[in-house]
Structure 1
Amino acid sequence: MSAPHGAPGVHSVIGVDAGTASLREADHLIHDLAARLGLPRGTIACTHLIRTDERRGTAVSFALPDARTAAITWSHVVALDHPGLGAALAGRSYGAEPAAHAAVLAAEEHAHRRGGRAVLFPGVDHLTGTVTVADLLALTAIDRLVVVGAPTADGPEPTTPVLTRDHVRPEWRDGHLTLALVPAAGGTLAPFEVPNPTPCCADHA
Structure 2
Amino acid sequence: MGPALVTPYALTVDAGTRELRAADHLLRSLAAELALPEDAFACTHLVRGARPRVVLSLTLPSEPLLSTALERLTAGGHAVTRGVPDPVGRAVLYPGVASLTGTLTVGDVLSRSAIDRVTVLGAPEPPAPDTPLTTRDHVRPQWQDGALVLTAMPAAGGTLVPFEVPDPTPCCADH
- Find the residue that maps to 1:87 and give its secondary structure: strand
Q: Identify the match of residue 75 of structure 2 among 74, 79, 87.
A: 79
Task: Check the 8 A contact 1:11/1:70 in 2, yes or no.
Answer: no
Task: Check the 8 A contact 2:12/2:82 in 1, yes or no.
Answer: yes
Partner of 1:145: 118
- Find the residue that maps to 1:61 and give its secondary structure: strand
Query: RMSD of the TM alignment (CA)?
Result: 1.6
**1:107-146 pair list within 5 angstroms:** 107-109=84-86, 114-146=87-119
Task: Tell me the alpha carbon deviations over residues 10-30 of structure 1, each in whole angstroms, 9 at most, x when there is no partner.
Answer: 521100011111000000010
Task: Check the 8 A contact 2:104/2:132 in 1, yes or no.
Answer: yes
Partner of 2:135: 164
Q: Residue 9 in 1 paired to residue 16 in 2?
A: no
Q: How many residues align?
A: 168
CA distance in 2, matches of 1:122, 1:162: 18
Q: Identify the match of residue 63 of structure 2 among 64, 67, 73.
A: 67
Partner of 2:30: 33
| TM norm structure 2 | 0.90
- Find the residue that maps to 2:80 and give its secondary structure: strand
| TM norm structure 1 | 0.78
Structure 2 unaligned residues grouped into runs of 5+: 170-175
CA distance in 2, matches of 1:39, 1:6: 17
Task: Tell me the alpha carbon deviations over residues 37-68 of structure 1, each in whole angstroms, 9 at most, x when there is no partner.
Answer: 11122110000111122x21111000001223
Q: 1:8 to 1:182 in 2, by over 3 A?
A: closer
Q: Residue 58 in 1 paired to residue 54 in 2?
A: yes
Structure with a larger share of its residues in helix: 1
Q: Identify the match of residue 45 of structure 1 among 42, 46, 52.
A: 42
Task: Check the 8 A contact 2:38/2:96 in 1, yes or no.
Answer: no
Q: Share of identical aligned residues, percent?
A: 49
Stretches of 4+ moved more than 3 A in 1?
none
C-alpha deviation, 1:194, in angstroms:
0.7
Partner of 2:173: none
CA distance in 1, matches of 2:5, 2:164: 26
Task: Check the 8 A contact 2:103/2:132 in 1, yes or no.
Answer: yes
Task: Check the 8 A contact 1:147/1:180 in 2, yes or no.
Answer: yes
Partner of 2:148: 177
Partner of 1:190: 161
CA distance in 1, matches of 2:88, 2:47: 11
Task: Check the 8 A contact 1:46/1:116 in 2, yes or no.
Answer: yes
Partner of 1:102: none
Structure 1 unaligned residues grouped into runs of 5+: 91-106, 199-205
